[in-house]
Amino acid sequence: MDRFRSAIAHLSLDDLPGISTAIKARLFRARVFDVLGLFRLDPRHARLIWRSVEGERFVRMLQGMDIPLIATERGGFGNSKVLSPEYRDPRRAYLVGRWLVEKATARLRRDGRVAGRFSLSVSFMAGGVWSRNVSCFPTQDTAIFLRLHRALWVRLWRSARPGAVISLGVHLGDVGLLQDRRGDLLMPLAPAELTRGERVSRALDQINARHGDGAIRFGMNTPHPGFFERG
């Protein structure tokens, strides 16, 4: 065991796959500053730091225990953004939200999945969070989720004119595999068959893959890259 500790002593937390920036910050707050400190950590404490059983599993594997991998299912696809000052006007925040929808739906298609629920969450500088979701036929069509995104913003605007936005997030839930999607006689649509809108979305993916991300978009949006991104 001493030889094992000496073999990992030179590593930093950043060298370990699975230690994200957020997890590293939580470890620092728990006064775990290096790999040896993580190695000595009680796995039950790691569960609290990770806020998940994955923390306990991670530390037990680091300590040499044989922990079998567990198959997991995708819970959803989403992006959230803490906005820098120039993007906090609600109209600009709305356009950032459209950009986040495009990013999330592109990842949904890359994973061969469809989603049957769209959620929007908006946090305000003055305090408070507005959050709603809406269901739909399981799809990977970006245009459909953009329409749902707009519909929820309209609901927000009508309920109370929003002030400055500090952060916002979009989430695609009720996720399943495209190959498992049932058909629809009214559309008509065969099982696992792509809709016209989904074929268009895939075509745009191919264009962006060839010419660069954002070469072609689904209408107006406002990219907000940088250190403020979460998810």
Give the pLDDT mean for 178-196.
86
DSSP string, 7-24: HHTT--GGGSTT--HHHH
Residues 6+ apart with CB under 8 A from 219: 98, 146
pLDDT at 230 over 50: no
Q: What is the pLDDT of residue 149?
A: 97
Residues 6+ apart with CB under 8 A from 136: 116, 117, 118, 144, 148
DSSP string, 61-103: HHTT------------EEEEEEPPGGG-SHHHHHHHHHHHHHH
Say how far apart CA 32 and CA 141 lie, in whole Å: 44
Helix (H, G, I), strand (E, B) or coil at 170: strand
Say how far apart CA 1 and CA 80 lie, in whole Å: 42
Helix (H, G, I), strand (E, B) or coil at 178: helix
Give the pLDDT mean for 128-155.
94
What is the number of H-type helices and E-type strands within the chain? Answer: 8, 5
Say how far apart CA 30 and CA 24 lie, in whole Å: 10
Q: What is the pLDDT of residue 119?
A: 94
Q: Encode pLDDT of 69-122 as tens digits.
A: 444 456 788 888 888 889 999 999 999 999 999 999 999 999 999 999 999 999
Q: Is the pTM of this model over 0.85?
A: no
